Amino acid sequence: MNRPKKIRIFRRYSDAASKVARFMLEKDSVTLEFKDNTSYRWTNQSAAPENIARMKTLALSGKGLDSFIDSTVKDRYLRKIR
């Protein structure tokens, strides 16, 4: 039996001054699309569960995500998507 494909939905990040344009939250990861059209995925394994939880909170609140990325998880992404 074929399973339906999981629909991935990006949400707009509400801080207009941010480098982050959109985000997608999944159980164990956060994927961000930046205004320069690059996309990165951070996971519990690559950046630690407590950092992923914090990124989710900041993404939903619409503020502070840029600063957190730059200070804490900048190079700890799983992969650059584009």
pLDDT for the residue 48: 98
pLDDT in the model for residue 32: 98
Query: Which of 14, 12, 35 minimizes the C-alpha distance to 24?
Result: 12
For 7: left if phi > 0, alpha if psi spans -120 to 50, otherwise beta; the answer is beta
pTM: 0.89
The domain limits of the chain are 13-80
Q: Which residues of the chain have pLDDT under 50?
A: none
In order of 10, 21, 47, 62, 81, the CA distances from 37 in angstroms are: 13, 9, 22, 19, 10
Helix (H) / strand (E) element for 30: namely strand 29-34
CB atoms within 10 A of CB 22: 16
Q: What does the pLDDT read at residue 8?
A: 77
